[in-house]
Amino acid sequence: MHAGGISQHLDETRAPSAIRPLGEKMAHYGGKPGRFPMPEMMTKENIEDVKNGFINSALNALEAGFDGIELHNANGYLLDQFLTPYTNTRDDEYGGNWENRLRLVATIIKSIKRRVPESFIIGLRISEGKVNNPDYRWEEGHHAAIAILKILSKLPIDYLHVAAESTGWANECLYNNGMSLTGLAK
């Protein structure tokens, strides 16, 4: 997990784009009072460092005897910031369409999978809501969910954890047409 632009403690942060996160730091998360700082846009070198950090963390978990890991691509944190259009306005291979927005997490998962035993579990957590914007939904609704889930279905993950942030599963995982994010994922 990496907080990216919504770190509660850092005065200088990095994110996919130089866009100030919505809302204010959260005292119940131990945050300093006030608005989130304006993050610096991540360079390719920063992105590579983050990728390697996730890979090394998974390898450390394996060495420590864990059965697997779950990548946190949800709730407004860094990997989700790449996925979310209003926090990622990049025009390179990490921005634009859904496949590009998921490129970093896909690369991390594939890199980990190549370096761990087949029995090592890799999970992925996703959500629409954010800790600093719990009412956020993908603009294209279930159409976005279907497009994102199709990309994720091609990744070598063992499970997908669909998370609701704080306003409840029914609010966060159901679409106006009665479809659910979890139902579509299944």
Q: Is the pTM of this model over 0.75?
A: yes
> Which residue ranges make up each domain of the chain?
42-185
Is residue 172's pLDDT more than 70? no
pLDDT score, position 85 = 96
What tens digit of pLDDT does each residue of 99-158 get? 999 999 999 999 999 999 999 999 999 999 898 998 899 999 999 999 999 999 999 999
Fold of the CATH domain 42-185:
TIM Barrel (3.20.20)
Is 77 a residue of the active site? yes
In this prediction, residues 21-41 reach a mean pLDDT of: 88
Catalytic residue among 29, 77, 136, 159: 77
Average pLDDT, the chain: 93
CA–CA dist 153, 57 (Å, integer)? 23
Residues near 182 by beta carbon (within 8 Å), at least 6 away in sequence = 162, 173
What tens digit of pLDDT does each residue of 150-166 get? 999 999 999 999 987 56
Phi (first) and psi of residue 34, to 5 degrees: 105, -175
User: Percent of the chain having pLDDT more than 90?
Assistant: 75
Say which residue the tokens 């784009």 belong to.
17
pLDDT score, position 29 = 78
Among 76, 57, 77, smallest CA distance to 68 is for 57
What tens digit of pLDDT does each residue of 58-104 get? 999 999 999 999 999 999 999 999 999 999 999 999 999 999 999 99
CA–CA dist 9, 36 (Å, integer)? 9
